[in-house]
Chains A and B, each alone.
Chain A
Amino acid sequence: SSELTQDPAMSVALGQTVRITCQGDGVRAYYATWYQQKPGQAPVLIIFGNKKRPSGIPDRFSGSSSGTTASLTITGAQAEDEADYYCSSRDSSGNHVVFGGGTKLTVL
């Protein structure tokens, strides 16, 4: 399968924890990557290699992966975390990059 499935929308109360998931066959064999995109801006890499954070990304963002599901957890969500979040990995062949459909996160 070449698809990565994400919930289209989620919400979290300010200061609370939210987990955004990404399901797909590719995640079982290949690294999952997560991007944050705010309106009118280019995506920003926030997690790669399933759980690694690039420098400058707050440690409230964490990633994990198990089986066919990768997860992005935001612990203590801030107002500025309201954004679209996209997962990415390879398809089951390993030869192509695929993106999930994105999750729109609202911080209440």
Chain B
Amino acid sequence: QLHLQESGPGLVKPSATLSLTCTVSGDSISSSTEYWGWIRQPPGKGLEWIGSINYSGNTYQNPSLKSRVSMSVDTSKNEFSLTLRSVTAADTAVYYCARDRAATIRFDIWGQGTKVTVSS
């Protein structure tokens, strides 16, 4: 059974860089043709797609965040990561990782989410 788990700091200072990791268990990232995505949800607001990456490192990203976002995949650890630079209070959110079945436009398996607060 596929399981995704986010990890990272709960508190990040303004202007700093946020780094999150999603560890995948129950399947190998490199055996899948799917993408692996990041979605966030500010407090009391809706979902926002950040971007997705496949095991080869190919990405597609939200154009509104693209200038600050990097994504990577580590097949040896079966995990993928998100880096968001120059964070502000507007980046405070619950960050989810999920399997992105891109061909059918669906995130079918989600992590539980990790709350990130940007504050000094």
Question: Which residues from B are CB-within-8-Å of A98?
Answer: 49
- Interface check B52, CB cutoff 8 A: yes
- Interface check B55, CB cutoff 8 A: no
Interface string of B94-120 (1 = CB under 8 A from A): 001000110011111011110000000
Contact in complex: B49, A96 (CB < 8 Å):
yes
Question: Which residues from B are CB-within-8-Å of A99?
Answer: 39, 46-49
Write the chain B residue with the least CB distance to A42: B110
Provide the main secondary structure of the chain B interface: strand
Q: B89 to chain A: closest CB distance in Å?
A: 21
Question: Which residues from A are CB-within-8-Å of B61?
Answer: 96
- Interface check A43, CB cutoff 8 A: yes
Contact in complex: B111, A31 (CB < 8 Å):
no
Kindly count the residue-residue contacts between A and B in the assembled complex, taking CB atoms under 8 Å apart: 65
Interface residues on B, range: 20 to 34
- Interface check A45, CB cutoff 8 A: yes
B46 contacts which of A31, A48, A100 (Cβ < 8 Å)?
A: A100
Interface size on A, residues (CB 8 A): 25
Q: Complex: how many Å from CA A59 to CA B112?
A: 25
A86 contacts which of B37, B46, B100, B112 (Cβ < 8 Å)?
A: B46
Q: B115 to chain A: closest CB distance in Å?
A: 11
**A 20-62 contacts with B by CB, 8 A:** 30-33, 35, 37, 42-45, 48-49, 54
- Interface check A89, CB cutoff 8 A: yes
- Interface check A97, CB cutoff 8 A: yes
Interface string of B39-64 (1 = CB under 8 A from A): 10000001111001000000011110
A residues sitting closer than 8 Å to B (CB atoms) are 30-33, 35, 37, 42-45, 48-49, 54, 86, 88-90, 95-102
| CB pairs A–B below 8 angstroms (7 shown) | A31-B106, A33-B104, A42-B111, A89-B105, A97-B52, A97-B100, A102-B46
